[in-house]
Amino acid sequence: MAITDKNTKHKVKTKEAFRKAFIKKVEEVSGEDFSESTTRHQYEALAELVMEEITAEWAVNNSRLHKMEEKQIYFFSIEFLIGRLLKAYVNNLGWDTMVEETLDELGVDYEALQAEEHDPALGNGGLGRLMACFLDSTAALGFPGHGNGIRYKYGLFEQKIINNEQVEVADIWLKNGYPFEIVKPDKAVVVKYNGDVRMEEVNGKMQFIHENYDPVLAVPYDIPVKGYRNDTVNSLRLWSAKPVEDFDLSTFNQGHFLKAMQRKSEAESISQILYPSDHGFEGKLLRLKQEYFFVCAGLKRIVRRYKKHNHGSMDGFPDKICIHINDTHPALCVPELMRILVDEEGYDWDIAWDMTIKSISFTNHTVLPEALEKWPIDMVQKLLPRVYQIIEEINRRFINDMNWFYPEQVDRNYSMAILKDGQVHMAHLAIIGSHSVNGVAELHSKILREETFKDFYAVFPDRFTSVTNGVTQRRFMMGSNPGLKTLLDDTIGTDWKKPGNMCSLEALLPHAEDAAFCKKLADIKRANKERLAKYIKETQGIILNPDSIFDVQVKRIHEYKRQLLNILHVILTYNQLRSNPNADIVPKTYILAGKAAPSYVYAKEVIRLINVVADRVNNDPLVKDKLKVVFVPNFNVSVAEIIYPAAEISEQISTAGKEASGTGNMKFMMNGALTLGTMDGANVEIAEAVGMDNIFTFGLSDTEVYNYNTHGGYRSLEVYESDSRLQEILGQLINGFFGESAGFQMIYDSLLLHNDTYFVLKDFAPYVDIQDIASNVYRDQKQWQKMSAINIAHSGIFSSDRSIEDYEKRVWKVK
Ligand code: GL7
């Protein structure tokens, strides 16, 4: 339906035309007069109008893509945590003012309308969210770059807090349909599992025939990725698993109804659920199936499209296609691409290997040993018989080469094997099969080179590089903090908003000294704090004091992220207030949020502790307005968008060396919060950017942690014995202080009996000191606002536009 002139590129142009189109669409979707429509109808109508506009541009882009003039980037990732899309589309189309004004005039509540969109939680945390930011930036910069992943029927669980504990509820995100995807059944492909591989000579050449396999259909659902105010529309392709025939008819006809049903549900189970653990390797067969599923389906379509537009030849493939693998979950891209090139396209092994390496690049996202994927050989061999043979051959040739070049280094050579100790080492496969391997922050990349992958670095020094993560300012600042956006526009002009141009925010620096500017900055923060306070009051019934410091730690709950350190400090403050209720302390509100993996018992204990402490503190009349603790349930992208703009202190307190980068730290900084953190991950680069005077750092360095660990850890008991504050607090964890049933023996034991793996007690005293320093600086509001402005001014390098430009220069070389 054309809304205005058919000849104009944009169908919806003027406000008046939009108004008419919107009313008409609402009436179409509701079958009622506009005045009778519900918020749901209005949401559906706006979503449809947006999609109509974007799909027209999308078609133009897709035909450009078919011509294969430019190099294409494909992000293979098992997670894409995209968040709500409606508002992002509206903003990227440049429709924001038009939509806001029109809806306002029609008496439609735009915020409520947006809240109708179910936030698709197709990721666990940082790794999946990074992909969503990268898609946004890639499109904003006009690069052809697409996502390839899984369309999970159930995303990450919804978290409820009941009796202070995390309870997981299924997230049925598709229950009312999803307006931003287009299913393409004609582009479905078959993925083959299990079966046997037979060799046969055809025309004098050996061929590998895979037979008796279990086929599963992969059906693509495409979501458009619209660039910011440009004409690029890329795609996020998510695959859904279906049985090849809805029923296995022959089995059904023979009367085996249950068996036929079983096949159907086995096939569908592959895209049924997102594994809910970040940083945890589960080694389950279903997960391996998922990994091969999107790798196989994704590569098949890319290869088909490439060949179609290149006269059936794959020769130029590596010059036109970048396959970027996000952590090791898609590492099967390496043997699968080899299988296609050798078995299906008939290339010699060496040529195929060269093409594979040139096409694939790999980003590592963690050094935690428990997250490194290692599949049992027999599982891979059985599920993917031909792929496994190829892995074996890659491994054999690699070890042969190593032993040839480094005959004196047999032990080191073997330690780098893909196949060893009965397992397939996925990181080794990814490194050996890629031309580029990068970490996600300078410190992380250094640890990869010097510790985790040091043997590989010695052999392939040129392969290793570093690209510091970034986040999209369009969602996490311009979209979620409109007050700040307008202030920046008014102060330094609007150029900073151009994609790739965020470093020009440095023009703000002179204004950091300007009292009038700082006052405005403070007013905006105050309004954002009130917005968050309102949300918390409505959802949890807790009343916050907007005059207190909002000190925030929101991220997955994990021992290495040390939410425990935070809450121990809260207990300390509470103890101090109990013994001296009139103490002159700066009022503070601690806000925490995050999900724990359902099987991660310790992390769930930490959630319980936070909630128990919150209950006690918030209900104690002694502390009055001076101390509040809130655990916000169900942290997700939409909740995050309310929290970051309201934060004043950004807690980034991981054990040094453990957090690869962190990206929350960047989102806080962009919104003017000051980082209180360890020298870990990208915190180090934040410190470099803003200078040590504009950040609060504390604690052990990564080298100190490493040195302790290589010498058997430190003695946590000694720290405990020399600090009476810790004696009191740890005692309270187990002596019934928080209520008869509220003991925390597991946490107590981890700190004292098991020697405190994450150095919580060791870093406690420096953490308390830096918290005191931060509170004292806060008393000087002029100084605080100045620091805040300096942080915003230097946040440009943490835009994902910069990350994508770095990848372009260092890895993909699209131009
Ligand atoms: C992570 C890292 O822990 C995190 O520091 C990083 O910012 C993120 C994106 O690179 O990747 N690695 C990982 O496995 N998860 C992460 O969030 C789940």
Give the model confidence (pLDDT) of 4-52 as tens digits. 444 445 556 789 999 999 999 999 999 999 999 999 999 999 999 999 9
Q: What is the pLDDT of residue 203?
A: 84
Pocket test for ligand 1, best of 364, 440, 658 (most atoms within 8 A of CB): 440
The tens digit of pLDDT for each residue in 618-634 reads: 999 999 889 999 999 99
Task: Indicate the range of 61-65, 281-285, 327-331, 434-438 predicted with least confidence.
Answer: 61-65
Residue 333: CA count within 13 A, CB half-sphere:
37
Q: What percent of the chain has pLDDT over 90?
A: 91
Residues marked as catalytic: 365, 555-556, 561, 663, 667
If pLDDT is split at 50, 70 and 90, which confidence band does 186 have? Answer: very high
Q: Rounded distance, CA 754 to CA 716, Å? A: 9
The tens digit of pLDDT for each residue in 321-351 reads: 999 999 999 999 999 999 999 999 999 999 9
Q: What is the pLDDT of residue 780?
A: 97
**What's the gap in Å between 659 CA and the centre of ligand 1?**
7
**What's the gap in Å between 764 CA and the centre of ligand 1?**
25
Burial class, 313, CB count within 10 angstroms (exposed 0-12 / middle 13-18 / buried 19+)? exposed
Residue 261, pLDDT above cutoff 50: yes
How many CB atoms lie under 10 A from the CB of residue 455?
A: 17
Q: Looking at per-residue confidence, does 438 or 742 come out higher? A: 438
- Pair 323, 364: CB distance under 8 Å: no
How many CB atoms lie under 10 A from the CB of residue 201?
A: 8
Q: Both tokens of residue 89?
A: 């589309």
Residue nearest to atom 4 of ligand 1 (CA): 662
The tens digit of pLDDT for each residue in 672-720 reads: 999 999 999 999 999 999 999 999 999 999 999 999 999 988 999 999 9
Q: What is the mean pLDDT of the chain?
A: 95
What average pLDDT does the segment 106-129 reach? 97
Q: What is the pLDDT of residue 815?
A: 76
Provide the 8-state DSSP code for 471: B
- Pair 355, 322: CB distance under 8 Å: no
**What's the gap in Å between 2 CA and the centre of ligand 1?**
44
Q: Rounded distance, CA 733 to CA 745, Å? A: 7
The tens digit of pLDDT for each residue in 264-273 reads: 889 999 999 9
Q: Rounded distance, CA 434 to CA 359, Å? A: 7
Residue 444 CA: nearest ligand 1 atom is 5
**What's the gap in Å between 558 CA and the centre of ligand 1?**
12
Q: Rounded distance, CA 217 to CA 188, Å? A: 7
Residue 279 CA: nearest ligand 1 atom is 14
Nearest Cα to Cα of residue 333 among 306, 279, 296, 289: 296
**What's the gap in Å between 494 CA and the centre of ligand 1?**
32
**Helical H runs in 619-756?**
637-643, 664-670, 683-690, 702-710, 716-721, 724-734, 745-752
Residue 129 CA: nearest ligand 1 atom is 9
Residue 662 CA: nearest ligand 1 atom is 7
Pocket test for ligand 1, best of 156, 365, 372, 440 (most atoms within 8 A of CB): 365
Residue 363 CA: nearest ligand 1 atom is 10
Residue nearest to atom 7 of ligand 1 (CA): 662
Amino acid (1-letter code) at residue 475: R
Residue 440 CA: nearest ligand 1 atom is 10
The tens digit of pLDDT for each residue in 195-232 reads: 999 999 988 888 999 999 999 999 999 999 999 999 99
**What's the gap in Å between 130 CA and the centre of ligand 1?**
8
CATH hierarchy code of domain 68-83+119-187+218-240+261-469: 3.40.50.2000
Q: Both tokens of residue 166?
A: 């995390």
What average pLDDT does the segment 121-140 reach? 98
Pocket test for ligand 1, best of 127, 686, 800 (most atoms within 8 A of CB): 127
Q: Rounded distance, CA 88 to CA 99, Å? A: 12
Q: What is the pLDDT of residue 6?
A: 43
Q: What is the ipTM of this complex?
A: 0.99
Domain ranges of the chain: 1-66+85-117, 68-83+119-187+218-240+261-469, 475-721+755-798
Residue 64, pLDDT above cutoff 80: no
DSSP-derived secondary structure for 541-595: -PPP-TTSEEEEEES---GGGTHHHHHHHHHHHHHHHHH-TT-----EEEEEE--
Nearest Cα to Cα of residue 211 among 190, 228, 226, 192: 192
The tens digit of pLDDT for each residue in 524-575 reads: 999 999 999 999 999 999 999 999 999 999 999 999 999 999 999 999 999 9
Residue 68, pLDDT above cutoff 70: no
Against a cut of 0.90, is the pTM above it? Answer: yes
Q: What is the pLDDT of residue 18?
A: 97
The torsion defined by the Cα of 779, 784, 786 and 787, in degrees rounded to 10, comes to: 150
What average pLDDT does the segment 287-308 reach? 97
What average pLDDT does the segment 491-512 reach? 98
**What's the gap in Å between 524 CA and the centre of ligand 1?**
30
Nearest Cα to Cα of residue 55 among 724, 347, 63, 644: 63
Residue 237, pLDDT above cutoff 50: yes
Q: What is the pLDDT of residue 5?
A: 40
Nearest Cα to Cα of residue 594 among 636, 647, 564, 630: 636
Q: What is the pLDDT of residue 70?
A: 86
68-83+119-187+218-240+261-469 shares its CATH topology with 475-721+755-798: yes
**What's the gap in Å between 289 CA and the centre of ligand 1?**
23
What average pLDDT does the segment 289-314 reach? 97
Q: What is the pLDDT of residue 4?
A: 43
- Pair 170, 600: CB distance under 8 Å: no
Residue nearest to atom 11 of ligand 1 (CA): 127
Residue 366 CA: nearest ligand 1 atom is 12
Ligand 1 shell residues, CB under 6 Å: 124-127, 130, 278-279, 365-366, 371, 440, 469, 659-663, 681
Q: Helix, strand or coil for residue 76?
A: strand
Q: Rounded distance, CA 79 to CA 123, Å? A: 5
Q: What is the pLDDT of residue 262?
A: 83
If pLDDT is split at 50, 70 and 90, which confidence band does 69 have? Answer: confident
Residue nearest to atom 17 of ligand 1 (CA): 126
Nearest Cα to Cα of residue 329 among 358, 357, 289: 289
Q: Both tokens of residue 806?
A: 């770095």
Residue 371 CA: nearest ligand 1 atom is 14
**What's the gap in Å between 318 CA and the centre of ligand 1?**
28
How many CB atoms lie under 10 A from the CB of residue 599?
A: 11
**What's the gap in Å between 110 CA and the centre of ligand 1?**
33
Q: What is the pLDDT of residue 409?
A: 96
Residue 469 CA: nearest ligand 1 atom is 10
Amino acid (1-letter code) at residue 366: T
**What's the gap in Å between 681 CA and the centre of ligand 1?**
10
Q: Percentages helix, strand, coil for the chain, rounded to the nearest 5? A: 55, 15, 30
Q: What percent of the chain has pLDDT over 70?
A: 97
Q: How close are the terminal C-alpha atoms of the chain, in Å?
A: 37
**What's the gap in Å between 484 CA and the centre of ligand 1?**
28
Pocket test for ligand 1, best of 555, 661, 668, 800 (most atoms within 8 A of CB): 661
What CATH homologous superfamily does 475-721+755-798 map to? Glycogen Phosphorylase B; (3.40.50.2000)
Residue nearest to atom 9 of ligand 1 (CA): 127
